[in-house]
Structure 1
Amino acid sequence: MLTHLTLINFALADHLALDIETGFNVLTGETGAGKSLLLDALSACLGERTDTNYVRFGSDKADVTASFSYQDNSPEAQWLKEHELDDESGEIHLRRVIFATGRSKAWINGRPSSLAELKEIGRLLVQLYSQHSQQQLLEPPYPKHWLDRYYNFYAPAQAVRDAYSTWQKNIRQHQAALDAQATRKQRIETLNLQLEELEELVQIDYKEIEQEFDRLSHHEHIMQDCSYSLNALDEAEQNITQEIASIIRRLESHAGRSEQLSEIYNSLLNAQSELDDATANLRQFIDRQSFDPERMEELNQKLEVFHRLARKYRTQPELLKQEFDTWQTELTALHELEDPETLAEQVEVAHQDFLAKAQHLDDIRREAAAPLAKQLTEQVKQLALPEAHFEFKFEPLEQVSAEGLSFIQLLFTANKGIPAQPLARVASGGELSRIALVMQVMNAEKTEAEVLVFDEIDVGISGGTAEIVGRLLAGLAQHVQILCITHQAQVAAQSDQHLLVKKRQTDPASSTIVELEEDARILELARMTGGVEINDTTLQHAKQLRQLKFQQA
């Protein structure tokens, strides 16, 4: 649930802190007062796109924070736990800072986060419905998506998409096998020759023999330098080992007189130990070295083969093993393509699997469509459309797709005796707005989000219709938190919390949002119904609207 919003230098708000209550919350205000201020700020916290217009004039940045409460076993609680963002407070704090330069930064519970993370958690917390949602009704895929969403057919629909993808993939593999038949045999022969040529060579570690050859090539210089080093370390009359031992003896008697000298003394003891080990290893290395001209010639021949084949196959000697593995993989794949009939069988199996899943999805959609259309009809009839009738029409697709077997249309008629036709063809603008409103409310009943935001979705309705819309939203608010921007007094009268947006003529201009007590609510409802001049008649009407709220409760 949304509990608090803080806006600092955001658009028309200089500093605004607002507590949001449970239930049905409405925002009203005169045109131009900034009613969208709160929703824009909330959208920014949910990771939506922003621009520099959100930064208050004269400021270098805008700062918005939205706070939510949540239940321990909720999807958002699981998301926070997976991202190691949960804390003991039991709250979610989403913060967004928008700079005048166009950049923005985001935080979740105090930790810097990406906009993608904000959007992920935002989809779990808030569902937004706007006045433009009615345009979605006119898009061909919408009836199918609405049906799937209402009945939560996401899993079988995804299973159909996956099965279709597998079927198409198998078709492509089968076609590739057919196309490869002409050249496959020649390519297999070529790969076999190449692999045979490299088979013995790739068993040898190129880097290892290159290093051994380099050591034998410089054997004389290595032995000279090693002998000189051993002599200097341990065999000369004035060698390093003796000198260090002498230094240690001199400092040993003074080590207890100074902490710094003690550290130096211990460091020299460690150095003496390291030198002794190095000297012993060097002596062992010298004793084991011998020059083998036959081995050197053998290595030289192997290196020549490496370089010759590297030139032949246009690669580096050390990469021949990698080329060998690549050819081996390609050869294996070509052998798998050897029998197109086997792949044809796989295509048919995948096709039948797709058809079975798609038929199941089509069946459950058809079974669910009639009761859903009936429910939509009953809801829409209340909104001054007494003869409204809806039905779903399933038309078999000429060519099946990842979306199923049928094209689904939502048919509508507003007049008795007139057959239902596609919604986009026969519904007027006013009818579309009411239908969209009902479909959104029905969707909202199924959403997992605990906060629903309705942005002027009641545009185009009035009077008794608006009153029914208010009742629908008030009933829905018994299960979830609702935030609604409205111009309709009949809708606002049904709310639990009434927030008024007011513009102040400061320099620069600013907006504020205040929670209205009952008397102030009556005045605002009177303004919404009667305009600028508020008289006894409009006040009485406003009181009656509020009484309807309490009577229904």
Structure 2
Amino acid sequence: MLTHLTLINFALADHLALDIEQGFNVLTGETGAGKSLLLDALSACLGERTDTNYVRYGADKADVTAVFSYQPDSAEAHWLTEHELEDDTGEIHLRRVIFATGRSKAWINGRPSSLAELKEIGRLLVQLYSQHSQQQLLEPPYPKHWLDRYNNFAEPAQAVRDAYVTWQNNIRQHQAALDAQATRIQKIQSLELQIEELEEVIQTDYRETEQEFDRLSHHEHIMQDCGYSLNVLDEAEQNITQEIASIIRRLESHAGRSEHLSNIYNSLLNAQSEIDDATASLRQFIDRQSFDPERMEQLNTTLEVFHRLARKYRTQPELLKQEYETWQQELEQLHQLEDPETLAEQVELSHQAFIQKAEHLDQIRREAAIPLAKQLTEQVKPLALPEAHFEFKFEPMEQANAEGLSTIQLLFTANKGIPPQPLARVASGGELSRIALVMQVMNAEKTEAEVLVFDEIDVGISGGTAEVVGRLLADLAQHVQLLCITHQAQVAAQSDQHLLVKKQQTDPASSTIIELDEEHRILELARMSGGVEISETTLQHAKQLRQLKFQST
């Protein structure tokens, strides 16, 4: 869960450090106070796009840090382990610095990270729902995606998409085979000639041949230098081997008198051993060397062939073998094209596999749609929609695609005796907002994220409906941590922690967030209910709202 948030020079925040509690947390405040401040900062830490407006006026950068706690076996724990970002403290520190120039930097547990990594871990930690989410209900794909998400159909849905892609790829390959018939034979003959020309030369390793030729070319010089070296090491009247042996004998009697001298003595013994081994190896090397002019001519001829073919095929001599292998693969593929029927069989098999997976997905979607529509109906009714009714409508597509075999519509009616119609056609704005709210809460119950953020999703509701929404969110907060920006006193009254956003007329202006105690919560609820002038009536109403919270718990 989110435990701490620190904002430095972020928008209207000068320096703000905030502890977040488990359960249901609300943010309230007057219009323009900066209620979105905390959510904007959190979004920045989760890798969302930022701009220079987030940098406080007069500052050169904004700095935001979000701290999360997590369980050892959670998805985020496994992600940290995979990316070698785990921390012994059992916490996740996400930091984002936004510069006035427009650049930004990110860190995860103190290590520099990319925005892509922030987004990956962010999706595991936090799920955000905005006041504009109701517009998603009007988009054709939404009912299908919501049905899949609520019932955990992501895996079979992905299997259908993958099978569709395989089928389409096989269709393209088959068509390419048919289109290539005209030029196939000519290309095969060309490749066969090229492969034949290289087949013998690539049996020889170019680098080894080049190295051997270089050694024979410098045979005389090598033998002179090796002979000189062997003479200095072991054969001259005053050679290195004898001199080191003399030094060792002189120091041997003193090695026990000084640890430093002992170390030097041992180092010289090791050096003597290394020199002896090198001398022996050098002598063996000299004894085995012989100059073979015929072998040198043979190597030279081979290298000339390598270079001639490399020029011909516009590559490097050492890459000829790689070219040979590439041509073989191309030739094998072209031979497969000799029988388009084989590819046609692959098309048919992949189509059957796609249809099989798509039919399975369509079946489980239809089976899940009935109870889900019933559950949605029951959840929406308390929100001043007593006669609400939902159905999912499946219609076969003319042509199956990666999304399955059927289009799925969510039908709705708010009035008894009137058949349900497509949601976008019959639902009013207020009805859409309430339906979107319930669908989001139902989704939130299924999410793996431990932190859910609701940004003014209760817009368009009031009175008893808002009270029901508050209880709905409070129940959800028994399982996950909630952060909710709200204008509804009935919703705020159900919270466990109440955070008030206030604008201060400093120079420049700034916003602060304070945690309210019970007395100040009553005053804020009264302000939300009755406006600037707080009367005894609004105070009593605010107290009653809080009592409802305690009675429900």
The TM-score with structure 2 as length reference comes to 0.91
Q: Which is worse superposed, 168-177 or 132-141?
A: 168-177
Aligned counterpart, 1:303: 303
Equivalent-residue separation in structure 2 for 1:178 and 1:281 (angstroms)? 64
CA shift digits 1:427-474 (9 cap, x unpaired): 332222222112111111211222211111111222222222222212
CA shift digits 1:68-90 (9 cap, x unpaired): 33334332333334444444544
**How far apart are residue 357 of structure 1 and its match?**
0.8
Equivalent-residue separation in structure 2 for 1:496 and 1:271 (angstroms)? 76
Q: Report the secondary structure of 1:341's partner residue.
A: helix
**How far apart are residue 17 of structure 1 and its match?**
2.8
Q: Report the secondary structure of 1:411's partner residue.
A: strand
Aligned counterpart, 2:54: 54
User: Aligned residue pairs: how many?
Assistant: 553
Aligned counterpart, 2:177: 177
Percent sequence identity over aligned pairs: 87
Q: Which is worse superposed, 181-190 or 319-328?
A: 181-190
Q: Which is worse superposed, 301-310 or 481-490?
A: 301-310
Unaligned 5+ segments in structure 1 are none
| Aligned amino acid, residue 414 of structure 1 | A
Equivalent-residue separation in structure 2 for 1:190 and 1:513 (angstroms)? 76
**How far apart are residue 414 of structure 1 and its match?**
3.4
Q: Report the secondary structure of 1:445's partner residue.
A: helix
Aligned counterpart, 1:27: 27
Aligned counterpart, 1:339: 339
Aligned counterpart, 2:161: 161
Aligned counterpart, 1:4: 4
**How far apart are residue 281 of structure 1 and its match?**
3.2
CA 1:494–1:242 in structure 2 vs 1: closer, same or farther (change >3 Å)? Answer: closer
Unaligned 5+ segments in structure 2 are none
| Aligned amino acid, residue 515 of structure 1 | E
Q: Report the secondary structure of 2:34's partner residue.
A: coil
Are 2:479 and 1:479 equivalent residues in the alignment? yes
Equivalent-residue separation in structure 1 for 2:545 and 2:406 (angstroms)? 47
CA 1:426–1:299 in structure 2 vs 1: closer, same or farther (change >3 Å)? Answer: same
Equivalent-residue separation in structure 1 for 2:90 and 2:225 (angstroms)? 71
| Aligned amino acid, residue 410 of structure 2 | L
Are 2:13 and 1:13 equivalent residues in the alignment? yes
| Aligned amino acid, residue 430 of structure 2 | G
Aligned counterpart, 1:392: 392
Equivalent-residue separation in structure 1 for 2:68 and 2:221 (angstroms)? 75
Equivalent-residue separation in structure 1 for 2:246 and 2:374 (angstroms)? 104
**How far apart are residue 265 of structure 1 and its match?**
5.7
Equivalent-residue separation in structure 2 for 1:275 and 1:87 (angstroms)? 50
CA 1:277–1:493 in structure 2 vs 1: closer, same or farther (change >3 Å)? Answer: closer
CA RMSD of aligned residues (A): 2.7
**How far apart are residue 403 of structure 1 and its match?**
0.7
Q: Report the secondary structure of 1:457's partner residue.
A: coil
**How far apart are residue 240 of structure 1 and its match?**
4.8
CA 1:95–1:293 in structure 2 vs 1: closer, same or farther (change >3 Å)? Answer: closer
Aligned counterpart, 1:499: 499
CA shift digits 1:138-172 (9 cap, x unpaired): 22211111111111111110111111111112222
Equivalent-residue separation in structure 2 for 1:263 and 1:293 (angstroms)? 51
CA shift digits 1:395-451 (9 cap, x unpaired): 222221111011212223334454433322333322222221121111112112222
The TM-score with structure 1 as length reference comes to 0.91
Q: Report the secondary structure of 2:128's partner residue.
A: strand
CA shift digits 1:486-543 (9 cap, x unpaired): 1111211222222211122223322222222222222211111211111122222222
Q: Report the secondary structure of 2:180's partner residue.
A: helix
Equivalent-residue separation in structure 1 for 2:2 and 2:287 (angstroms)? 80
Q: Report the secondary structure of 2:338's partner residue.
A: coil
Q: Report the secondary structure of 1:59's partner residue.
A: coil
CA 1:240–1:132 in structure 2 vs 1: closer, same or farther (change >3 Å)? Answer: same
> Any residues of structure 2 matched to 1:78-89 within 5 Å, and which?
78-89=78-89
CA 1:540–1:291 in structure 2 vs 1: closer, same or farther (change >3 Å)? Answer: closer
Aligned counterpart, 2:327: 327
Q: Which is worse superposed, 304-313 or 481-490?
A: 304-313
CA shift digits 1:253-278 (9 cap, x unpaired): 77677776666665555555444444
